[in-house]
Amino acid sequence: MQQPIGYNEGQPYKVCKLHRAIYGLKQAPRAWYHTLASTLRTLGFRHTTSDVALFTTKTNNSDVTYMLIYVDDIIVTGFNSMAIDSLIKQLNCIFSLKDLGLFHFFLGLEAHYLPYQTLLLTQTKYAKDLIHRAGMGNSNPMPTPMMTSLKLRKSDSNPYEDPKGYRSIVGALQYLTITQLDLAFAVNKVSQFMHSPTINHWKAVKWILRYL
């Protein structure tokens, strides 16, 4: 880091000590999480043991508020709408918030509100983007996610020419199993060969995409 142009106080070769993290630096996300987590703790929240991005608070057995955080995107839900509104107002006094209302889209998850208090979660747009990213938009569909007689092995064919692309597509398929549980077994199989995929492994991935 260098002193900005026009700032010549002190010795020019000394570094500047920052009082706050600068957006874009690799330390910034950690500093932001630390600040947000500290604030939530003062409001009675605690992160869960299974996921440090999920915070909960509970005043009694029927009054629980959940807060899911991804960088600066936040979902808040719970059993008490008044408690949620109060929480948003408290946070808005500390941070600059933009309330987008009901949850409709979050990290590839789409929410559709149906009658009888039913919430339908889908990943339709995410799946379509993944299919086009893999160049499979015009492929013929398959009735199953994997051939029943298929047996994948470590070195069953020549190495696949783009292992990085293989890992990217399979990793995206893993996230898709949040709503597409019928893909879980097939995706688990192709995930076992991320370190050194072969052509047959990639054919199995394309079969999954064609089923999708």
19-61: pLDDT as tens digits: 777 777 788 888 888 888 999 999 889 988 888 899 998 766 6
DSSP class of residue 183 equals G
Using an 8 Å Cβ cutoff, are 198 and 158 in contact?
yes
The C-alpha angle 50, 51, 53, rounded to 5 degrees, equals 160
DSSP class of residue 142 equals -
Using an 8 Å Cβ cutoff, are 206 and 136 in contact?
yes
Using an 8 Å Cβ cutoff, are 158 and 199 in contact?
yes
Give pTM, 2 decimals.
Answer: 0.72
β-strand partners of 54: 68
Share the mean pLDDT of the chain: 87
β-strand partners of 112: 120
pLDDT for residue 33: 87
| Domain positions in the chain | 1-101, 124-211
Using an 8 Å Cβ cutoff, are 160 and 166 in contact?
yes
The band of 123, judged by pLDDT with boundaries at 50, 70 and 90, is: very high
Question: For residue 158, which of 190, 192, 203 has the smallest C-alpha distance?
Answer: 203
Rounding to the nearest 10 degrees, give the CA dihedral for residues 98, 124, 150, 157: -70
The band of 108, judged by pLDDT with boundaries at 50, 70 and 90, is: confident
Which residue is associated with the tokens 């990639």?
Answer: 202
Residue 91, Cα to own-chain centre: how many angstroms? 23
- Using a pLDDT cut of 70, give the percent of the chain over it: 90
